[in-house]
Amino acid sequence: MWFDNLFERQTRRAAQRTGRRSMLATLGKAMVGTVALPVLPFDRSAHAAAAHGARPGKAVDETSCDYWKYCAVDGFLCSCCGGSSTTCPPGTEPSRVSWVGTCRNPADGKDYMVSYNDCCGKTTCGRCECNTNERERPGYKLGVHNDVNWCMSNSSTMFHCTTSIILGVQE
């Protein structure tokens, strides 16, 4: 109740001080601002750089097997095949199933879960082959086994290259 009264008083005062048009315009701006603000892009590049292991002023090399998030890769890096470390090259599509690895980011000392999705639909890329296999397990633990064609359940089972997508961090 007190809130209603307060709001009414403020509104009346504002209406006396300003014209109706200008009040509506101000109200409109406030409403648009409230709705639009949450969807405006924020610069999160500092956080992204940290998560990807870039030290300030030093970019990571996505085409090197030494990049920490490639710790359990077995395949050709998509970043050398016309895609990136997280996207498939044109003409291929991500595997519907994947294996996961846990890799330590030296920039923050935290362990990250990484999904290794093969890209399917073209013959093998053949560039930047990495076989790091950290904590990889034999086929009876299929979810953490990488020596298998994960394009097996896609419409095209041709394996082209492998992406490495960070799923989360162990807190």
Mind telling me the catalytic residues? 99, 118
Report the amino acid identity of residue 40. L
| Binding region for ligand ABN (CB under 6 A) out of 1-9, 38-46, 135-143, 148-156 | 148-156
The number of helices, as runs of H, and strands, as runs of E, in the chain is: 3, 6
Report how far residue 92's alpha carbon sits from residue 125's, in angstroms, rounded to the nearest whole number: 11
- Binding-site member from 11, 131, 149, 153 for ligand ABN (CB under 6 A): 149
Residues 58-97 vs ligand ABN: string with x where CB under 6 A?
Answer: ----------------xx----------------------
Minimum distance between the CB of residue 159 and ligand ABN, rounded to whole angstroms? 4
Report how far residue 49's alpha carbon sits from residue 62's, in angstroms, rounded to the nearest whole number: 13
Does 162 interact with ligand ABN (rule: CB under 6 A)? Answer: yes
Does 150 interact with ligand ABN (rule: CB under 6 A)? Answer: yes
Minimum distance between the CB of residue 154 and ligand ABN, rounded to whole angstroms? 12
> Is 35 marked within a binding site?
no
Distances (CA, A) of 42 to 4, 49, 95, 134, 158: 35, 14, 31, 35, 38
- Helix or strand run (H / E) with residue 2: helix 2-17
> Is 117 marked within a binding site?
no
Q: List Cβ neighbours of 127 (8 Å cut-off, separation of 6 or more).
A: 76, 77, 80, 81
- Directed axis angle between helix 2-17 and helix 20-36, to 10°? 120
| Binding region for ligand ABN (CB under 6 A) out of 12-20, 60-68, 130-138, 145-153 | 145-153
Does 146 interact with ligand ABN (rule: CB under 6 A)? Answer: yes
3-state DSSP call for residue 107? coil
> Is 74 marked within a binding site?
yes
> Is 105 marked within a binding site?
no
Question: ∠ at Cα 148 (145, 154), nearest 5°?
Answer: 115
Does 159 interact with ligand ABN (rule: CB under 6 A)? Answer: yes
Q: Catalog residues that contact ligand ABN under the rule CB under 6 A.
A: 74-75, 118, 146-150, 159, 162
Residues annotated as binding site for substrate?
A: 74, 146-148
